[in-house]
Amino acid sequence: MKNILVINSGSSSLKFQLIQMPSEKVLASGLVERIGLDGAKIHYKTEDSTTSRELEIPDHGAALKKVTDLLMNKESGVIETSEDIDAIGHRVVHGGNTFSKTIVIDEEVKKAVKNLFSLAPLHNPHNLKGIEVAEKLFPNATQVAVFDTAFHSTIPSKAKQYAIPTEFYKDNHIQVYGFHGTSHKYVSEQAVKYLKKEHSRIISIHLGNGCSITAVKDGKSVDHSLGFGPVNGLIMGTRSGDIDQSVIFYMVEHLGYSTREVSDILHHKSGMYGLTGYSDLRDIQQKAAEGDKQCQLALNMNAYRIKKYIGAYAAAMNGLDAIVFTAGIGENSDVIRELVCEDMEYLGIEIDSEKNSQRSRDLRTISTENSKVKILVIPTNEELEIAKQVEELVDGN
């Protein structure tokens, strides 16, 4: 048995799970939120207890130290010393062209992650900080980096290159990298197991505050909606998704916005928030149900964008066996799933409204018996996927 601690460091949060492998038993899990801000909180859960309390947590180092203290606490802890942790899996958002697989962390890896800060300025710096702190707190544990972009390294050149001068690709590495790879890998593998098909064509739809959609053929990512950065593709909570580049030039050249201001608008003030004034889909669905025309339009725009990608990816793979809804919205919003799947009979997609309205934390089918394409809802588990990859790597060394 191996105890693997999975750490996901965000800009002001730190999620963690301590998983015993290969049994996949979660010994402890939790979240530290509002790091460096007023009202910081730590949530901690074990099989026997659940606690939440407000603390002063100035930085990620202090956050991970609090987590360590809880894990080794005499009353609520699940380990005795830091040496009980065999390995630590760190989610790193961007691996660029440097990393296409999970890797044991050394000084060269840390240097490379730092060199990629410009590609993921909101994530990679915090990911690296989590690594550095964990090395000090768990000096005997094997530190492993699992990259969100790695799953998409199989995307072929015809799909990953942009039609701009080739030197930008060769010299500056401007291309489709893709994100949410750990989530897409996990749910697509679960779908393959469910389908029991030697060859499979699956569309994985990750819908949260950030959204993306992936074409997965025979277990490999062959196309993906997020590209060089995390703002294009589907309509998201505050991000615009696909937009005509001319709009950006117009905003700068004729409306007087700076490029930094335009970037801020597209990342933080657009998407569902820009359309409705709300970024939480639950609020938008409630307002739409009450008759708010703008919220109704936003929901229809959101679903329409997803439909277009489903059509494109079905064409790219020359067919479709299943579509998978996952992540917070994908797993919980029967409204979005219904809007996406209605009027898709031409592609063999038929949703069962009664099945769709039911709630479950397990893999479930929400398509009709006659539907040629399976419609699946599969809860994502990025932490377990990271633990699996860490275990496989450590056992192989």
Which residues are annotated as catalytic?
Answer: 148
Is 155 known to sit in a ligand binding site?
A: no
Largest CA distance in the chain: 64
Rounded distance, CA 138 to CA 175, Å?
A: 36
Structure tokens at 83: 């040496």
Going by C-alpha positions, the residue among 114, 37, 30, 15 that lies closest to residue 78 is 30
Report which residue type is found at 29: S
Rounded distance, CA 46 to CA 154, Å?
A: 38
Going by C-alpha positions, the residue among 184, 258, 268, 257 that lies closest to residue 226 is 184
Is 108 known to sit in a ligand binding site?
A: no
Q: Which residue has 């099989």 as its token pair?
A: 47
Rounded distance, CA 125 to CA 92, Å?
A: 9
Is 305 known to sit in a ligand binding site?
A: no
Is 330 known to sit in a ligand binding site?
A: yes
Is 359 known to sit in a ligand binding site?
A: no
Is 282 known to sit in a ligand binding site?
A: yes
Is 366 known to sit in a ligand binding site?
A: no
Rounded distance, CA 344 to CA 30, Å?
A: 40
Is 70 known to sit in a ligand binding site?
A: no
Is 331 known to sit in a ligand binding site?
A: yes
Is 207 known to sit in a ligand binding site?
A: yes
Cis peptide before 22 (omega within 30 of 0): yes
Is 178 known to sit in a ligand binding site?
A: no
Is 338 known to sit in a ligand binding site?
A: no
Is 89 known to sit in a ligand binding site?
A: no
Phi-psi category of residue 336: left, alpha or beta, with phi > 0 → left and psi -120 to 50 → alpha: alpha
For residues 229-238, one letter each, b for 16 or more C-beta atoms within 10 angstroms of the residue's C-beta and e for the rest, the string is bbbbbbbbbb
Is 91 known to sit in a ligand binding site?
A: yes
Is 209 known to sit in a ligand binding site?
A: yes
Q: Binding site for substrate: which residues?
A: 91
Q: Binding site: which residues?
A: 8, 15, 91, 206-210, 280-282, 328-332, 382
Q: Binding site for Mg(2+): which residues?
A: 8, 382
Q: Binding site for ATP: which residues?
A: 15, 206-210, 280-282, 328-332
